[in-house]
Structure formats: C-alpha cells, structure tokens
Amino acid sequence: AQSVTQLDSHVSVSEGTPVLLRCNYSSSYSPSLFWYVQHPNKGLQLLLKYTSAATLVKGINGFEAEFKKSETSFHLTKPSAHMSDAAEYFCVVRTLIMGGYNKLIFGAGTRLAVHP
C-alpha cells in the first residue's frame, strides 16, 4: 500500500538560509509524487510534481525536489528562504485505484516558519 511520511511537523529557518523539508514514501510501483503548499487560510497550491521523467524537479518560487528511488525520498529544497515561504507544505503520492481513479495520499504536513 502507498503511504507518505513527512519527517518534520515543524521547520524553522532564518530568511536567506536554505530550506529542507523531508518526505519519504512507500509505493509498490513507480509513484507520482507532488508537493503542495498551503498559505494561512488559503487553499492548496501545486508547487511541483514528479511523474517518472527527470529525477530533479523544479517548481514555482525557486523550490525543487529530488526523487531518490533507492532512499524512497522526495525532499523539498530551496536555496534561500523568503518570508513569504512561511506556510504548510504537503507531500503527496498518487495511487491508481481499480477503474483508473486518481487517489491522492497526503502526508501530515510540515509547517515552515521563516524568521527575519
């Protein structure tokens, strides 16, 4: 069965320093993986997605993630944090249910705080 584990519930960084949000997945076949961001009182916005093409995926706002099959990881990084990056981040794996339905399994989320 597919599952997603976000290893940190809270991450705090200083503005201008690197960001690392960790995600491990479990999947019985090659998965599709996503990172979504949720700003306070807003809906979820897609940051990036991996669908078995390049293992290093670039997303919006300077974020990128690397798919590492050997480590079953899909960590999200950004070289330099900005105050506007403060939000909750969700790692998501997509599964295929019989009949072709596209089910998303969400991690519990990582809340990123950025300090001046």
Query: Smallest distance from the beta carbon of 23 to another protein, in angstroms?
Result: 12
Q: Give φ, ψ of 53 to 5 degrees.
A: -100, -125
Counting contacts by CB under 8 A, is residue 40 touching another protein? no
Residues 59-88 that bind another protein (CB under 8 A): none
In degrees, rounded to 5, the angle at the alpha carbon of residue 18 between the alpha carbons of residues 88 and 27 is 55
Please report, as a single letter, which amino acid is at residue 73: S
Dihedral through CA 70, CA 60, CA 107, CA 21, nearest 10? 60
Residues 1-20 that bind another protein (CB under 8 A): 4, 9
Identify the residue among 25, 35, 36, 89 touching another protein (CB under 8 A).
36
In degrees, rounded to 5, the angle at the alpha carbon of residue 99 between the alpha carbons of residues 97 and 103 is 30
Identify the residue among 12, 16, 30, 46 touching another protein (CB under 8 A).
46
- Which range in 23-31, 59-67, 70-78, 98-106 contacts another protein by CB under 8 A? 98-106
| β-pair type (44-50, 101-106) | unpaired
Counted residue by residue, the chain has a size of 116
Query: Smallest distance from the beta carbon of 43 to another protein, in angstroms?
Result: 4
Binding positions for another protein, rule: CB under 8 A: 4, 9, 34, 36, 41-46, 49, 90, 96, 99-104, 106-109
